[in-house]
Structure 1
Amino acid sequence: MSEVDPWDALRAATRARVGLGRAGDGLSTAENLRLAAAHAQARDAVHTALDADAIVTALGERAGPVVHSQAADRAEYLQRPDLGRRLAPDHGLEAGEHDLVVVLSDGLSARAVQDHAVAVVDALLPRLEGWSVAPVVVAEQARVALGDEIAVALGGRMVLVLIGERPGMSSPDSLGAYLTFEPRLGRVDSERNCVSNIRPPDGLTYEGAAEILAALLTESFRLQLSGVELKDTGAALPSGAG
């Protein structure tokens, strides 16, 4: 009869590495191999290019243009974060009047955007009935702040940036959502709100993320602000969270 491992219950409740055991003074061979595989997944997430055409196809009629930051390639993007925050001059965006601009950005994990961003848009937009939403922009070599300049160019009162978050050793595909009221150049992170770890089945579900985002966007418009003064006042995670 095999012994019950007391760590099994905790391992089942988290993706964190707990109770790894050891072989002598180090990790076992199996754990070392799992760690190396996770590290490789994280590196791949950072360096893999975004398939913008596939996202545009998935968005269908909701799709707007594909734009680029001033970072010429992935290497420059990683070495020069400032260039990832500025829009390339040949963007071709046309000014209008919109309540909301949605930007899908590769960030530090194109895989997260590829796997999850369109599904979040699918879940969110029906919750924003009556809102004027601009065609969804896809941005390459982009940081969060690039959304401010995109929204200004399009005439958006708010911007929502869905972006690949920095990969962890157990989360190479985590999607973050950043919303900013009255976006403009020079906005800082304290003037934004973030919903992170959107990555079912191991993180927040699409429906759960959409419910939180719709509530935050609505409240942001009501209060005419975003950032540290705008709070998620829900008593608990929404029913779609998991």
Structure 2
Amino acid sequence: MTNEPVVGVDDPWSPLRRTTQARIGLQRSGNSLSTRDVLEFQSAHAAARDAVHAPLAVDDLTPALNTLGLGEASVVASRATSRGDYLRRPDLGRLPDDLSALPRSDADVGIVVADGLSATAVDDHAVGLVTALVETLASEFTIAAPVIATNARVALGDHIGEALGVEILVMIIGERPGLSVADSLGIYLTYRPRPGRRDSERNCISNIHPPDGLGYADAARIVRGLISGARKLGASGVALKDTSAADADTAGQTPVVDQGSA
């Protein structure tokens, strides 16, 4: 079946393209794609590369988080001293450089905002997501002052959570960008964080990038349900199931929740 448009006939791929961000039904002439599709692909590829290599705008993020009433945000780094090291040595991104300045809070919940593989996602969505989390969680749980982590992998949160003394760590991190989405956030939730936790011991909520992905309020609602479940169960990860899916289905939205690693 050819993808070439038929003269005088509406493009049958048009209604399908509106339902997905995937590149389907690309127009072509012989073996060549249309100039528009080639340029769109190159633009998406450049955006993904920029998201991976760009440094996190810590100077903008810190004051924005400080306005949320949780206390002064702390900034920590992994042992990866550059983006190059971070990409070549994932192990360094999982280890802290120095956490001695972190204030111990013994709060119910700690929130870490980490660049991960997309600083763009953090720049675009982190403040909005943390705001929704505070609005959703503050009436039930105590929340520690936020922590910003640079050149960070998910497991760095285990060290941070132990240093903070929190019961549950919520790590917001930039997800690996693709050619459809370069600014998606993920949340990794860990009960009793400490070094050595396995990926199977945390829950992941992914694809957070409104308006096309999961919204801030929906993500926060799922986090609240997982926190309540983790405290009752005494564990997070594969043993803990999201109980908000039925409510989300009723509202016409299905959350993306799984166990993953980064």
Interval containing the TM-score (normalised by the shorter chain): over 0.9
Measure the CA separation in 1 of the matches of 2:32 and 2:221.
45
SS of the counterpart of 1:237?
helix
Contact 2:77–2:149, Cα closer than 8 Å, also in 1: yes
SS of the counterpart of 2:46?
helix
Contact 2:99–2:163, Cα closer than 8 Å, also in 1: no
Measure the CA separation in 2 of the matches of 1:70 and 1:165.
20
Measure the CA separation in 2 of the matches of 1:40 and 1:2.
35
- Comparing 53-62 with 217-226, greater Cα deviation is found at 53-62
Query: Equivalent residues in 2 for 1:133-212 (5 A)?
Result: 133-212=143-222
Query: Equivalent residues in 2 for 1:77-116 (5 A)?
Result: 77-89=86-98, 91-116=100-125
Identity of aligned residues (%): 50
Asked whether 1:68 is paired with 2:74, we answer no
SS of the counterpart of 2:212?
coil
Measure the CA separation in 2 of the matches of 1:221 and 1:227.
12
Instruction: Note the alpha carbon deviations across 1:112-135, whole angstroms, 9 max, x for none.
Output: 011111111111122221312110
What TM-score do the two structures reach when normalised by structure 2?
Answer: 0.88
Contact 1:120–1:206, Cα closer than 8 Å, also in 2: yes
Aligned residue in 1 for 2:3: none
Aligned residue in 2 for 1:237: 248
Aligned residue in 2 for 1:27: 33
Measure the CA separation in 2 of the matches of 1:217 and 1:16.
33
Measure the CA separation in 1 of the matches of 2:201 and 2:74.
26
SS of the counterpart of 2:240?
coil
What is the RMSD computed on CA atoms of the aligned residues?
1.7
SS of the counterpart of 1:33?
helix
Measure the CA separation in 1 of the matches of 2:135 and 2:252.
15
Aligned residue in 1 for 2:14: 8
| Letter of the 1:14 counterpart | T
Change (3 A) 1:240 1:208: farther
| Letter of the 1:106 counterpart | D
SS of the counterpart of 1:156?
coil
Give, in angstroms, the shift of residue 235 of structure 1. 1.6
SS of the counterpart of 2:33?
coil
Give, in angstroms, the shift of residue 220 of structure 1. 1.1
What TM-score do the two structures reach when normalised by structure 1?
Answer: 0.95
Contact 1:159–1:180, Cα closer than 8 Å, also in 2: yes
Measure the CA separation in 2 of the matches of 1:110 and 1:97.
29
- Comparing 198-207 with 52-61, greater Cα deviation is found at 52-61
Q: For 1:123, which of 128, 132, 137 is the aligned residue?
A: 132
Aligned residue in 1 for 2:260: none
- Comparing 44-53 with 59-68, greater Cα deviation is found at 59-68
Give, in angstroms, the shift of residue 169 of structure 1. 0.2
Aligned residue in 2 for 1:17: 23
Measure the CA separation in 2 of the matches of 1:241 and 1:196.
14
Give, in angstroms, the shift of residue 225 of structure 1. 0.8
Contact 2:78–2:93, Cα closer than 8 Å, also in 1: yes
Measure the CA separation in 1 of the matches of 2:216 and 2:252.
8
Give, in angstroms, the shift of residue 96 of structure 1. 3.1
Give, in angstroms, the shift of residue 94 of structure 1. 2.5
Contact 1:205–1:240, Cα closer than 8 Å, also in 2: no
| Letter of the 2:22 counterpart | A
Unaligned runs of 5+ in 2: 1-6, 255-262
